[in-house]
Structure 1
Amino acid sequence: MAATTGDPGLSKLQFAPFSSALDVGFWHELTQKKLNEYRLDEAPKDIKGYYYNGDSAGLPARLTLEFSAFDMSAPTPARCCPAIGTLYNTNTLESFKTADKKLLLEQAANEIWESIKSGAALENPVLLNKFLLLTFADLKKYHFYYWFCYPALCLPESLPLIQGPVGLDQRFSLKQIQALECAYDNLCQTEGVTALPYFLIKYDENTVLVSLLKCYSDFFQGQRTKITIGVYDPCNLAQYPGWPLRNFLVLAAHRWSSSFQSVEVLCFRDRTMQGARDVVHSIIFEVKLPEMAFSPDCPKAVGWEKNQKGGMGPRMVNLSECMDPKRLAESSVDLNLKLMCWRLVPTLDLDKVVSVKCLLLGAGTLGCSVARTLMNAMGFNMSIPMPGHPVNFSSVTLEQARKDVEQLEQLIENHDVIFLLMDTRESRWLPAVIAASKRKLVINAALGFDTFVVMRHGLKKPKQQGAGDLCPNHPMASADLLGSSLFANIPGYKLGCYFCNDVVAPGDSTRDRTLDQQCTVSRPGLAMIAGALAVELMVSVLQHPEGGYAIASSSDDRMNEPPTSLGLVPHQIRGFLSRFDNVLPVSLAFDKCTACSSKVLDHYEREGFNFLAKVFNSSHSFLEDLTGLTLLHQETQAAEIWDMSDDETF
């Protein structure tokens, strides 16, 4: 409850705040507006809600928003009062968190105050019922963050209760109650509405009259002691009025306190019980109006809604279960595999294909395309810690990160081939390191808008072999690699990984990005093409006698005899859909790679999670310092400065 303070001799009036009630249809409509209309537009938008005063006892006073909230011309539901609002939909969670809530509240309060001073609120009382809605829609996860505000102006002094509150049946006779119902209904019918938020009341023992606020002068002509006002009250508590009364009392104090010392308030509550109309649970009370006149400045305002825990903070609703499409079920490919061996590829080693255990990391469009091609699948829901995404050193968060790493290590240990199919660069770092340490074959696929890369990571030599040894039965064991062409006859253990071509360490690539910047949209066939090629590359590698140590095929080998019954075994496949072309480049492992270099693997194998925690919680410079990239950058910069100095001497 929000209480006033003041004269200790009288009890003080308290108000029951609104509770936000946002229908699922509202979030569906906001999703469509964001995608098709708002996009990156953060300008405030007009919306509307409504509240009802016929709830059963025990229910909170609710301000409801549904799918029609964005249509300002949509009719208000029967027996409900409208409330006008402003939507502030932010593009990022960071913008949502840092929005100036105080300023937003002050702006709304000023609008209400101006409507009171100008008299506009008398002409249109709905102007007193403003609300604000601050939102961020995470359409990747269908998580919606929101914070409601119901601006209420504060009186310059307290509102002491003179009488009440009491039930209406303790002050009105049955005849008066019936007269009130009839008068209210007739006024609503005359105005063409199903409910009026505020109204004026005049009564005696036999009659009850009601009127609009703008008719104040004529309606109360001749009255000198007090006036009676009515409010359509969404609260059903016996001792407290609802939130809409607050701004109405400010209006009354500002415009009528010079004429009257007190005001009688009737909180009109209208519900149907067992088919019969019931308004006797309405309450009536009298309050003393402030004696001090208002200054021209807008009064202080309150109104931000508390969260579910009772603190000042936003709320979040997760609608992923009712908004995400369902995954297709698995199906078998055993029959097709066997039919292939009958005539097309009789030398195909089916056992290697059927028995291989694949771990797919990433279950988006690309991951689902790979899973659909492989056709056997079991799901794990887990979070992969990443460089640039700090792990907080609280017992719960740190322990959860440790469990996630242990689970990932165990999954990689239990599988033969690891597919990296995630959206971000940094999310591929940890599985790339673990897989390199465990000597697992890694197939990596990444998409652009109309380009893709599919590659196998270089497979490190078994740990028991010498530092300069090749796989014992590898055909290059006695060859001089340096005497050959730079990108010809490169064995699998010298091939680079996904990070070998980078000279910067992975970091947080999604921080404070707008929805379109997070977007991983590609041409519609790209994910299926890349996903299928990733699976085919794996199968080709498995069919080669040397497996992951196989010499990389390049574009120059396309006219040569293929090394396997299924064709070439490339290191990379880079596709350009705009010109419907693929190339097969080959790249060497980089001794300063932030993922597969010996320095990174040695630290990981010695220190385990402690080393990983340093990477997660440090800036990208930690990996760059460790691998020597920082020194390389400095030497490169020094060389550029030297060259520039030489040029300046001419």
Structure 2
Amino acid sequence: MANKPLQFAPFSSFLDAGFWHKLSDNKLNIYGLDESPIPIHGFYFNGDPVGVPCRMNVEYTSFDEIVKTPTRCFKTVGTLHNKNTIDSFKECDKKCLLEQSGKQIWEDIVSGRAIEDPSLLSRFLLLTYADLKKYVYYYWFAFPCLCPPLDITMVTAPVTLDKTFTLEQIKALESSYDSFQSSHSSFVGYFLVTMDTDIKVQEVKGMDNYIGDSKKVMFAFADPCTLDGHPGWPLRNYLALIAHRWGDYLSEIQVLCFRDRSKDGVRDISSSLLLTIKLSSMKGLTECPKCVGWEKNERQKLGPRTVNLSSSMDPSKLAESAVDLNLKLMRWRLLPELNLGEISRTKCLLLGAGTLGCNVARCLLGWGVRKITLVDNGKVSYSNPVRQSLFVFEDCMQGGKPKAEAAAQSLQRIFPGVDAQGISMSIPMPGHPVSEGALAGTKKDVQQLEDLIKSHDAVFLLLDTRESRWLPTVMAAAYKKIVICAALGFDTFLVMRHGMKSDDAPPQGQPMSSYMVIPGDQLGCYFCNDVVAPGNSTRDRTLDQQCTVSRPGMSYLASALAVELLVSLLQHPNGGRAEADTSAKDEHLTKDLSCPLGLVPHQIRCFLSRYQQVLPACRAFDKCTACSNTVVNAYKKDGVEFLLKVFNEPSSYLEDLTGLTQMHEETLNTEILDFSDDDDSFMDMS
């Protein structure tokens, strides 16, 4: 065994699954396409039982700026090189990376930084590629170590501590070691053991005080190896430090491989190894020594490893990450300013769970919205599944499931992470009188609808009839909620947002300030272009007039635009009060826009027969039967009593209240007067 070359047990990488979760999250949210080196850290433990490999641990906390290693564990300094493609991973110059890391270790030794902070001797490299579609990760570890110009040999065979130290000396060493470690914020992996009058553990830099009496000093390190005759990998760079700093004075040294194990439940350091090593000086080296350290794979070949977490990860977490993948990729190259948090936090209320409601809900999922509430009073019929994307044939059986509840359940099957709720209720409407027997139910529906609108941020009006949109329009105006309205014709559709009035908005009826842009707090609602109050639109109508008969593709187009309009509002600095862009000309699109997604129109009207789309806008009508100050204030003041008057006598009451009746009369009088003034023959007859 005398003068036999010293061999070291290499590190084996051990990556916790949490590390891959954190890397995936950082890749999507922080790194993007940046391949710059990333500082990370790991740790190793020197108390494993016999048979356990010499492990380097990297976990979820490895990315934290403040290093917190577990108790009795020792820090290692790492660098992560995460590549964007598998080709980049394969073609990376591994030799160059290892040489750079070796030079850093050598510079720390030569400059003395490694004396002050010996943890710099324990470094690692981690080269990775993360396939975030399949959750397959490719990785390759390197544990760089410097090779001296001559072999390091053992003078005698290794012996365990209990063969050299007495029981009292072992206890004294154990006590001094504990005191030494407790005086530091984290465990120190390299230290000295001095034996003057007593046994004492000291910092490595204290060796300068023992140059003339080196036989009383042992160089010690926390040894993660469990083999009887070999030390662990951390000793290699430690010896390089010793050979460079003190090699001119020391031709032979003693090294303590400190192993802090448990035996039968009792702490035991007696299995620590004592080595007597012949050392060659590295003081005169002008260049960095050769560096080795790439880890072998499972086949004991130099090559990368892979880990597939698609089956072991929580399926709901996988789904959540996958849902957000496309959105986060948008920010890498296309929209770095996209605020995804604003979208995901928006609570959406969908009034109507039919053709439009189903498609809007699906599109909201795609944008990462997590809270969706659907309201409908219908049941799924056999004609629905082919047109309404959240329903299947089974939903029609036995009279049909309630639409809202079936749609919400379908959303949760599609993505378990969504908070989807379905509520079956009717929305009271103008022109639909409320009898005494139905009064309590109507009041309950009004209160429930009010609570829903208050608790959500955006309201989608996706209902079949004009009058069913009236009450939610009034409530949303009163509580200043974003309202997106979509309505279908046979080959036309309307998508629009309602204006959201400010507390200091100019009086209704004030002229527009620009033909191109209208302030968001002056925009009209769905009813602002009407000069009559809403009434019962289903009375005396045939089946084709009662149902929404439209080309099948219309609902998909309208639903998508409705959601995109909401998202554009959420990204605009003025939110729901964003000014209305009314021009879609190319030169308008090239100018700087307030919203990163582009134009934010008031209305989108599509004529599918001509494949044409226009972006009109209108101001709020001061006599509007839904959003005018007169109506909103009456609702705020009288509540249900005001609403009952509207339900039971819609036309006359609302038109009288808003001044439409007077406007009609004035218009009629003007027409008669104009006719009389211009008809000369009539004047002659008198």
C-alpha separation in 1, matches of 2:380 and 2:119: 74
> Structure 1 residues 157 and 108 mapped into 2: Cα distance closer, same or farther (>3 Å)?
same
1:208 matched to 2:213: no
Alpha-carbon separation, structure 1, partners of 2:610 and 2:556: 9
Return the letter of the residue paired with 1:209: K
Deviations 1:571-602 (Å, cap 9, x if unpaired)?
Answer: 99877726867776999xxxxxxxxxxxxxxx
Q: Structure 1: how far apart are the matches of 2:41 and 2:252?
A: 33
Q: 1:232 to 1:214 in 2, by over 3 A?
A: same
Q: Cα distance 1:354–1:257, how it changes in 2: closer, same or farther (>3 A)?
A: closer
Does the C-alpha gap of structure 1 residues 339 and 233 become closer, same or farther in structure 2, counting only changes over 3 Å? closer
Q: Secondary structure at the match of 1:89?
A: strand
SS of the equivalent of 2:62 reads: helix
Show the 5 A alignment for 1:54-453. Answer: 54-193=47-186, 195-203=187-195, 207-218=198-209, 220-223=210-213, 227-290=217-280, 293-320=283-310, 321-325=312-316, 340=381
Alpha-carbon distance between aligned partners in 2 of 1:241 and 1:569, rounded to the nearest angstrom = 74
Taking the aligned partners of 1:65 and 1:161, their CA distance within structure 2 comes to: 32
Give CA deviations for 1:302-336 in whole Å, capped at 9, x if unaligned: 111111221111111112241442889xxxxxxx9
CA 1:122 to 1:568, structure 2 compared with 1: closer, same or farther past 3 Å? closer
Matched-pair contact (CA < 8 Å) for 2:47–2:259: yes
Matched residue of 1:191: which SS? coil
Matches of 1:198 and 1:76, distance apart in 2: 16
Q: What displacement does 1:70 show?
A: 1.1
Q: CA deviation at 1:22?
A: 1.1
3-state SS of the aligned residue for 1:169? helix
* Cα distance in 1 for residues equivalent to 2:108 and 2:379: 80
Equivalent residue pairs, number:
371
Tell whether the 8 Å contact from 2:147 to 2:291 is kept in structure 1 after alignment.
Answer: yes
Q: CA deviation at 1:152?
A: 0.4
**Structure 1: distance between partners of 2:297 and 2:47:** 25
Q: Is the 8 A contact 1:156 1:294 kept in 2?
A: no
Judged with a 3 Å threshold, the aligned counterparts in structure 2 of structure 1 residues 182 and 295 are, in CA distance, closer, same or farther, namely same
Partner of 1:38: 31
Distance of 2:87 and 2:606 partners within structure 1: 40
Q: Deviations over 1:495-530 (max 9, x none)?
A: xxxxxxxxxxxxxxxxxxxxxxxxxxxxxxxxxxxx
CA contact (8 A) 1:227 1:262 kept: no
| Residue pair 1:143, 1:318 contacting (<8 A) in 2 also | yes
CA distance in 2, matches of 1:289, 1:354: 81
Q: Per-residue deviation at 1:259?
A: 0.6
Do the aligned partners of 2:40 and 2:77 also contact (CA within 8 Å) in 1? Answer: yes
Secondary structure at the aligned position of 2:248 is classed as coil
Q: Is the Cα contact below 8 Å between 1:198 and 1:230 reproduced in 2?
A: yes
Judge conservation of contact 1:123–1:214 (CA < 8 Å) in 2: yes
Matched position secondary structure for 2:97? helix
Provide the secondary structure at the position in 2 that maps to 1:134: strand
Aligned to 1:605: none
8 A Cα contact 2:244 2:283, kept in partner: yes
SS in 2 for 1:144: strand
SS at match of 1:116: helix
SS in 1 for 2:212: coil
Shift of 1:42: 1.5
User: Whose Rg is larger?
Assistant: 2
- Which piece of structure 1 moves more, 290-299 or 108-117? 290-299
Shift in alpha-carbon separation, 1:284–1:108, aligned structure 2, 3 A: same
Q: 2:195–2:216: 8 Å Cα contact kept in structure 1?
A: no
Note the 1:509-520 alignment, pairs <5 A.
none
Equivalent residue letter for 1:182 = S
Residue 167 (structure 1) shift:
1.2
SS of 1:238's equivalent?
Answer: coil
How many Å separate the matches in 2 of 1:582 and 1:151? 65
Note the alpha carbon deviations across 1:279-315, whole angstroms, 9 max, x for none: 0111111111025654210001011111122111111
Say whether the 8 Å CA contact 2:246–2:281 is kept in structure 1: no
Instruction: Kindly indicate whether the alpha-carbon contact (under 8 Å) linking 2:2 and 2:155 is maintained by their aligned counterparts in 1.
Output: no
Mark the CA change 1:222 to 1:322 in structure 2 (over 3 Å): closer, same or farther.
Answer: same
Partner of 1:281: helix, strand, or coil? Answer: coil
Aligned partners of 1:51 and 1:234 also within 8 Å: yes
Deviation (angstroms), 1:231: 0.8
CA shift at 1:30, angstroms? 1.6
Q: Which amino acid aligns with 2:240?
A: V
C-alpha deviation, 1:568, in angstroms = 5.1
Q: Matches of 2:189 and 2:123 in 1, distance apart?
A: 12
Cα deviation 1:416-450 (Å, max 9, x = unaligned): xxxxxxxxxxxxxxxxxxxxxxxxxxxxxxxxxxx
**2:148/2:282 contact within 8 Å kept:** no
Q: TM-score, normalised by structure 2?
A: 0.48
Q: 1:567 to 1:209 in 2, by over 3 A?
A: closer
**Cα deviation 1:540-559 (Å, max 9, x = unaligned):** xxxxxxxxxxxxxxxxxxxx
Distance 1:23 1:162 in 2: 40
Structure 1 residue 103: Cα displacement? 1.2
CA drift of 1:29 comes to 1.6
Q: Distance in 1 between matches of 2:88 and 2:124?
A: 20
1:112–1:173 Cα change, 3 Å: same
Q: Distance in 1 between matches of 2:169 and 2:259?
A: 15
Amino acid at match of 1:232: A
CA positional deviation for 1:275: 3.1
In 1, the alpha carbon distance for the partners of 2:26 and 2:554 equals 44
Q: 1:28 aligns with which of 21, 28, 34?
A: 21
Higher relative contact order (CA 8 A, sep 6+): 1
Aligned mates of 1:570, 1:225 — CA distance in 2: 89
Distance 1:307 1:163 in 2: 33
Q: Is the 8 A contact 2:218 2:254 kept in 1?
A: yes
Distance in structure 2 (CA, Å) of the matches to 1:293 and 1:114: 13
Cα gap change, 1:228 to 1:372, in 2 (>3 Å)? same
Aligned partners of 2:89 and 2:127 also within 8 Å: yes
CA distance 1:583–1:186, shift in 2 (3 Å): same
RMSD across aligned positions (CA)? 4.1
The TM-score with structure 1 as length reference comes to 0.51
**SS of residue in 2 equivalent to 1:266:** strand
Which residues of 2 match residues 490-505 of structure 1 at below 5 A?
A: none
> Are the equivalent residues in 2 in contact too, given 1:225–1:260 (CA < 8 A)?
no
Structure 2 residue aligned with 1:15: 8
